[in-house]
Amino acid sequence: MQEGTPIIEFKNVNKVYPNGTVGLDNINLTINKGEFVVIVGLSGAGKSTLLRAANRLHDVSDGEILIDGQSIVSAKGKQLREVRRNIAMIFQNFNLVKRSTVEKNILNGRVGYYPTWKTIFGLFSAADKQQAAANLQRVNLGEKLYSRADELSGGQQQRVAIARALMQEPKIMLADEPIASLDPRTTMMVMDDLKKLNEELGITVVVNLHSVSLAKQYASRVVGLRAGKLVYDKQIGDVQDGDFDEIYDGKNQEVKEA
């Protein structure tokens, strides 16, 4: 991954929450196309804050964030929505619409490609419905297409969320502790799914994780945050076992094993 075409660039990014908490402290970070970046750090280090700034689920206080060369900080309206369309996100709590079917949830990932009125009348193209089913099969849940989302287990819901994210045909996949509420076996499935997207579809993946061992197993690059600052950034080949003490500030390595 050394060729290095930047796809996400944080330039002097600061984020101070309205209550005065410093979320991000002068972050400079360039993520290249095709990387599988794992962000580690203690609880409260600013990992979520960083990811949510990248697709502007919240605004930063100052600094610039470029997505594929385009500023998302200053994007507005349709322009912002089009940038977001290229960035899929999966969440710790899956964030599915529980009362809707799996198919509807997956199609939700596609609404950015349609004018509002068409989606309201449910006028999704046959090709997109086909694609929704195909994406579900990709995560091995093909038979659940018409189940209600709340009938699925946590691991299954997270994989539906991945299928939904794929509907965006994203260039970037952000995942904020995607496995924190899953058991070890489903954890592997979800992480393997992400790895496959990265390798087979060339999607750039940025994942927040609490588990150092998972980070070492899946990442191509590990980034460490502490108290809003970027304190660590290495390609996976250069990562040493002792490094994590530094990130975790001398605390227990496996802060929270997933």
Ligand X SMILES: Nc1ncnc2c1ncn2[C@@H]1O[C@H](COP(=O)(O)OP(=O)(O)OP(=O)(O)O)[C@@H](O)[C@H]1O
Single-letter residue type at 129:
K
Q: What is the dihedral of CA 25, 205, 179, 213, to 10 degrees?
A: -80
Out of 15, 32, 48, 171, name the contact with Mg ion by CB under 5 A: 48
Q: What's the closest the beta carbon of residue 135 comes to ligand X, in angstroms?
A: 27
CA distances 113 to 46, 108, 136, 209, Å, are 31, 10, 19, 30
Identity of the residue, 85 or 144, whose beta carbon is nearer to another protein in the bound complex:
85
Q: Which helix (H) or strand (E) covers residue 40, if one does?
A: strand 36-40
Identity of the residue, 55 or 244, whose beta carbon is nearer to another protein in the bound complex:
55
Piece of 13-21, 117-125, 150-158, 187-195 that binds ligand X (CB under 6 A): 13-21
CB under 5 to 8 A by kind: which of Mg ion, another protein, ligand X, none does 31 bind? Answer: none
Q: Which helix (H) or strand (E) covers residue 83, if one does?
A: helix 77-85
Q: What's the closest the beta carbon of residue 87 comes to another protein, in angstroms?
A: 7
Q: What's the closest the beta carbon of residue 81 comes to ligand X, in angstroms?
A: 23
Other C-beta atoms within 10 Å of 16: how many? 15
CB under 5 to 8 A by kind: which of Mg ion, another protein, ligand X, none does 112 bind? Answer: another protein
Q: What's the closest the beta carbon of residue 45 comes to ligand X, in angstroms?
A: 4
SS3 content of the chain, % helix, strand, coil (to 5): 40, 25, 40
Q: What's the closest the beta carbon of residue 223 comes to another protein, in angstroms?
A: 21
DSSP 143: G
Binding site for another protein (CB under 8 A): 55, 57, 81-85, 87-89, 91, 93-100, 104, 108-112, 116, 119-120, 161, 164-165, 167-168
Map the footprint of ligand X across residues 34-73, applying CB under 6 A.
41, 43-49
Tokens representing residue 48 in the block: 């979520």
Q: Using CB positions, name the residue nearest to Mg ion.
A: 48
Positive or negative: CA dihedral 162, 212, 29, 33: negative
Identity of the residue, 53 or 160, whose beta carbon is nearer to ligand X in the bound complex:
53
Which residues have C-beta within 8 Å of that of residue 175, sequence separation ≥ 6? 89, 90, 91, 194, 205, 206, 207, 208
Q: Helices 154-167 & 126-138, crossing angle to 10 degrees?
A: 140
Map the footprint of ligand X across residues 19-38, applying CB under 6 A.
19, 21, 23
The residue ranges that bind ligand X (CB under 6 A) are 17, 19, 21, 23, 41, 43-49
